[in-house]
Each structure stands twice: as C-alpha cells, then as structure tokens.
Amino acid sequence: MIDCEMYEEMSSCESACSSPISCQVCGQECNGKFHYGAMVCRACAAFFRRSVEFKTSKSCHRIKKCDFLKKGYFTCKYCRLQKCLKVGMSYERFQFDRDVNKVNKIVVLGGRIPPSIDTFCGRSNLIIFRGPQTSASSSSCPSPDSPKNFINCQFLIDKAIKILQQGPESPIFTRNRLEKLAVVLNPVLEFQPAIEPPDMGNFGKEESLAQLEHVVILVTKWLTHFDEFQMLPAKLQIQMLQGIWSVWWRLGRLAYTSMKIRRSFDIDTIKRMETNTLVHSYDQDRLDMSWLSKYTVDELKFFMDIKNEVRLDNQTRAMIDLNPSDIELSFMLGQLCFQYVGKRFQGEILQVADRFQEVLANDLHDYYVNELRVPQYVTRLASMMKINNQIQMDIYNNIKKTELANIFDIFCVEVSHPEMFVDF
C-alpha cells in the first residue's frame, strides 16, 4: 500500500516537471530559466537585450491593443517591450565583460597604449609648461616673482640708421640694381662666419647677441646698395629692416650651407645620399640657453629654430640642385624679403614692396634674355619660387610657435624692440 502511494507521488512530480513552461511574455515554450528578472524564452530575452540599442523610441500604431502573436511573430515592438517590463524584466540586470578572452584583450591593449603626458610627468598637463624651479646660482633667469632680464636693442637700431645714412661703403657701377646687389652678395657668402668656429667655447648670451648684431649689420649694408631702398624715409627703412633681417638670414644661411655641401662632396655622392642625411653636427652641450629660458635646448627647439646640426633636407637638396648664380640668389633674397614684409605690415609698405619686386623681376628678365640668351626660364624661376614659398611657410609656422611661447611664458627676457623677433 505504501509502495503504491510513493509511486503515485513520484509519477505526479515527474509529470509536473515534464509539463511545458510558458514564457511570461509571448506564451511560447521556454526552458524555465530566468532572464533579466523574468521567466521568458530566449527569443524574448534577446529582444529585450537588443531594445537598449534602439536609436528611436518605438510607438504603437494601434492604440496599444496589438495582438501579441500573429503567425508566430510579434506585430508591435512597443507592446512587446512594455510586456517585458511589466513581467519584471529590468535593464539593471544586464551583465558586461563576461567574456574572458575579451577582457584579456582589453588588458593587453591597455598595456600597449603609451601613458599621457600628465601621467608620464606626474603632474597635470594644465601646468606642464610651467617653468622649472631653478636656483639663482644654476640659472641666469630670474625667479617668477622678479622682473625679467631686459635686452636693449636700441644701439643696434642706431648703428643701422647710421649705416643707411652713410650709404654704401664704396660706389659700384653696374647695368641694373639686381646686378649691383649680386656684386656685394658674393663676399657676404664667402666670409660668412660659421655657427661654431673651431676655437669657440660655450655659445651663450654674448655670442648670441654678437651674431644678432652681425646679421642685422650684414643685411643693412646689403640694402644700402639697393638705390630704391635708399630713397625711402628713414622711419620706413628701419621698419622694413626690422621685418626683413631674420627672413634674409634664413635664405642666406640655406645658400651658405648648400654651397659648403657642394664644395665638400661630389655631386654624384650628394645624389646618392638619402633625404635628411646628417652632414655635420655641433656639440649641443656647448649651447648655453639659460639666459633666455629655464627650459633645455631640446625643449626650446619646439618654439625656436635652433640649428645644432646640418642635414640634407628637402630645402637644402633643392638649393643644391638649383645652384643659383649670385644674380639669381640676390633676386630670391629680395623677392622673399619684400613679399614677406609687405604681407606683414600692409599699407604703404605693401605698395613699396610690390614696386621693389617689380624692379627686381624686370632686372632678372633682362639677365636671362640679354645676358644668358635664355628667353625660356620659367622652369628655373619656378624652382626659385618653390624654395622661397617653403621658407615663408616655415616662418608662419614659427610665428605660431612664438605666440605659444609668449602665452606659456617660455622666455625670461624682454627686448626693447619685440617686433624684430616676431618671426625669429
């Protein structure tokens, strides 16, 4: 009797367990497991998981009176989602990063990503450009609370005015203005001092100011041989000189470097050299920039054009391939300087600069047609303009960096004529 009762109970339990379990949303058969808080089938569970990614909110077009099943499919996503929420399904029950392989890939990728600047330096990137704290004995820069060092350039301006008033050192008679500029240009390039003479020690404040004076006086003497420039008022001459000297020096330095490379290497060897080949380097440790900034030379290279090495870059190779004559180089110097200074100051200086460029262009045309007997010189002229345009682009990029340096207070000096160093 007891065995019969136990058999009936076991059979009733087996029948109850084997009876199908319906999904609380669609009513279809499910496996009896809870998904996101309700006993639903896998189809409804997948639908509820995907509902998070709906880009637009669903709405019911039948006033929320849809048939939940029609030929085995839901006809309204809105009503299906509302029923999922009604039976207890919740977005808070979602679980993420359960895939072990995916988590391992994320960890490996995180190890490969380089740290940010603030993480690497140990301080926020908002104060990364704050000057390092240095003692007065180790740096000539003043402390942040004290006034900056002052450099008076008035003596240099006075010397340039005196040279312009006196005119050229010796009279030169040529056929045109461009040829006269070329005559005085050759000695300038031949005896231009190197950046690092062999017997030089540290290149610091005194050497930098001496080089500044040398370049400004060099450009001033070169301009005295341009008759149209000598006819300008003294005030206009000085204003144009302040915007010209650094631009002239860039192209002059490029021509000087190209000339030295051509004399040191055979032309076939130069052609076999790869771009940016290191030709010569100077000892960077001998550059003392502590009088100018608290930052190192490597850090200042972002804000300034500090040359401590000579490389066969694209500009140098283009100048070597061009190999301009003195007249062509004089035209390049004049065209680059006058075009740049006209764009910078506008107004009367722009009109004067355009007139100067026209004079030099006519003289260059006369040089090609009447002296060289080469009426088709457009290819050579395009090569010259390409070099000048690239130098102008470099100047404009340096102007932006100079503005950043002033914003972040990189330099610890003040000058009496800041307009001279806008594009330096």
Same domain, 179 and 303: yes
pLDDT at 128 over 90: no
Query: Is residue 109 in a domain?
Result: no
Q: Using CA atoms, how far apart are residues 162 and 180, in angstroms rounded to an integer?
A: 21
The token pair at 178 is: 């461009």
The answer to whether residue 26 sits within a structural domain is yes
Contact in structure between 293 and 352 (CB atoms under 8 Å) = no
Q: Could you tell me the residue range of the domain that residue 75 belongs to? A: 19-93
The pLDDT tens digits for 38-94 are 888 888 888 888 887 765 666 777 777 676 665 556 778 888 888 888 888 888 877
Q: Do 87 and 164 sit in the same domain of this protein?
A: no
The answer as to whether 139 is a domain residue is no
pLDDT per residue as tens digits for the range 356-380: 999 999 999 999 999 999 888 999 9
Whether this model's pTM surpasses 0.75: no
pLDDT tens column, 12-30: 444 444 567 888 888 788 8
**Same domain, yes or no, for 222 and 336?**
yes
Q: How many domains does the chain have?
A: 2
CATH of the domain at 69: 3.30.50.10
Q: What is the number of alpha carbons within 13 Å of residue 199 lying toward its C-beta?
A: 0
272 contacts 307 by C-beta, under 8 angstroms: no
Asked if the structure places residue 156 within a domain, the reply is: yes
Please check whether residues 157 and 275 belong to one and the same domain.
Answer: yes
| Domain end residue (candidates: 71, 93, 115) | 93
Residues 97-122 pLDDT 10s: 665 566 556 555 555 666 666 666 66
Dig out the tokens for 317 from the structure.
Answer: 């190779």
d(CA 256, CA 195): 11
Cα–Cα distance for residue pair 283/279, rounded to 1 Å: 14
Among 93, 109, 135, the domain-final residue is 93
How does 146-163 read in b/e, with b if 16+ C-beta sit within 10 Å?
A: eeebebebeebbeebbeb
Q: What pLDDT does residue 77 have?
A: 81
C-alpha 318/C-alpha 381 separation (Å) is 13
CATH number at residue 380: 1.10.565.10
The answer to whether position 216 is within a domain reads yes
In this structure, the answer to whether residues 194 and 283 fall within a common structural domain is yes
Instruction: Give yes or no: residues 53 and 192 share one domain.
Output: no
Q: Which residues pair with 311 in a beta bridge?
A: 278
Quickly count helices (H) and strands (E) in the chain: 16, 8
Q: Cα separation of 163 and 234, whole Å?
A: 11
